């Protein structure tokens, strides 16, 4: 954390009444005072930092460096995992970026999520013992809300999964690292959910003893899931994927700017290691918002002159029709 503190003793007035002050940057208040004493020279108007016709007041500002701000953000910037390394790391990167996105047909996934949300809502309403929602049915309301929330969250983890991508362009070609690691927030979240729901159910059990059963089923089930995630290597292995793709520029046979997604699609033709035949496939280059045109314009000059450039719908994760 950096402290920005003006040197109050350095607030000076010109002969016409105008004031100015000097600001120093340091990591501690003590360092601020030391720097302010070091920079005690007179400021000149030609320095272009004199405040004109504005009254000045002593101020103290707190500036957070990027690493502290990233700790506050829920989604931290992506970093390449140790399992993946760039093949052309010795070459300077012409362009590179990372992105976390849904690498599948999002329209189908969203429709499935909407259908399941509607179905769960109907099941919750039908299974609710009381349709009047009076004060006497508070326990039933809590049960229904918990049932709906848990099932909807479970469905969302299946229909809204995201994959991590890192792209790097050099003079030799294109590299793509894609990976999905076990989420770090999952275990702490399960601990909190189990603890909070246990407290709620035990508190409600003082009103209705049937909530003791719910305490065993709800928080108990979450606790068992936590133990499986924390200590089962096979479970973690199912949720981890690491892939490294390397292409040279002369292997691409078509470039397409997607009209339905923020991506650029590249078709390629190459002989894979151990094969005696050419493989024709494609790679989706996922872009950040409003960047696909810029990325396509960057890639095109590196391709062979005979490579066609089109604008079409891309059937993710496949290519154009």
- Local confidence band at 22 (pLDDT 50, 70, 90 cut-offs): very low
Section 155-161 average pLDDT: 84
CA distance linking residue 147 with residue 127, whole number of Å: 10
pLDDT at 102: 92
Strands (DSSP E) contained in 250-312 are: 252-258, 263-270, 279-286, 309-312
Strands (DSSP E) contained in 71-216 are: 95-101, 163-169, 173-180
Question: How crowded is the C-beta side of 40, counted as CA atoms within 13 Å?
Answer: 5
Torsion of CA 299, 294, 314, 278, to 10 degrees: 10
pLDDT at 157: 78
CB neighbour list of residue 313: distance below 8 Å, 6 or more residues apart: 258, 259, 260, 320, 321
CA distance linking residue 61 with residue 159, whole number of Å: 44
Residues 180-204: tens digit of each pLDDT? 876 666 677 777 777 777 777 777 7
Of 245, 295, 222, nearest to 265 (Cα)?
A: 295
CA distance linking residue 220 with residue 193, whole number of Å: 11
CB 132 within 8 A of CB 183: no
CA distance linking residue 109 with residue 211, whole number of Å: 35
> In the predicted model, is pLDDT for residue 109 greater than 60?
yes
Residues 52-73: tens digit of each pLDDT? 444 545 444 444 444 433 333 4
Cβ contacts of 302-308, under 8 Å, gap ≥ 24 = 302/169, 302/249, 303/249, 303/252, 303/255, 304/249, 304/250, 304/252, 307/252, 307/253, 307/254, 307/255, 308/254, 308/255
* 48 conformational bin, left if phi > 0, alpha if psi -120 to 50, beta if neither: left
Residues 250-275: tens digit of each pLDDT? 999 999 999 999 999 999 998 877 77
């Amino acid at each position: 954390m950096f402290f920005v503190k003006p040197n109050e003793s350095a607030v000076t007035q010109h002969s016409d009444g105008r004031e100015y002050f000097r600001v120093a940057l340091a990591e501690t208040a003590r360092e601020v005072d030391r720097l302010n004493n070091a920079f005690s020279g007179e400021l000149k108007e030609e320095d272009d930092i004199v405040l004109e016709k504005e009254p000045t007041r002593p101020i103290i500002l707190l500036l957070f460096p990027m690493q502290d701000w990233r700790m506050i953000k829920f989604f931290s910037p992506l970093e390449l995992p140790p399992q993946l390394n760039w093949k052309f790391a010795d070459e300077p990167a012409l362009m590179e970026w990372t992105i976390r996105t849904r690498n599948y047909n999002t329209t189908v996934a969203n429709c499935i999520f909407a259908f399941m949300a509607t179905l769960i809502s109907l099941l919750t309403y039908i299974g609710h013992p009381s349709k009047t929602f009076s004060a006497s049915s508070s326990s039933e309301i809590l049960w229904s809300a918990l049932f709906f929330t848990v099932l909807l969250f479970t469905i969302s983890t299946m229909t809204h999964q995201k994959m991590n991508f890192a792209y790097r362009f050099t003079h030799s070609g294109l590299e793509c690292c894609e990976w999905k690691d076990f989420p770090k927030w999952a275990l702490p979240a399960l601990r909190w959910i189990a603890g909070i729901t246990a407290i709620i159910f035990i508190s409600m059990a003082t009103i209705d003893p049937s909530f003791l059963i719910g305490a065993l089923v709800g928080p108990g089930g979450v606790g068992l899931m936590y133990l499986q995630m924390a200590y089962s290597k096979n479970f973690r292995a199912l949720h981890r994927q690491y892939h490294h793709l390397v292409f040279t520029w002369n292997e691409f046979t078509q470039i397409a700017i997607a009209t339905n997604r923020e991506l650029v699609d590249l078709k390629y033709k190459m002989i894979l290691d151990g094969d005696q035949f050419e493989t024709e496939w494609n790679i989706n280059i996922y872009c950040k918002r409003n960047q696909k045109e810029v990325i396509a314009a960057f890639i095109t000059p590196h391709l062979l002159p005979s490579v066609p450039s089109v604008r079409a719908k891309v059937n993710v994760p496949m290519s154009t029709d």
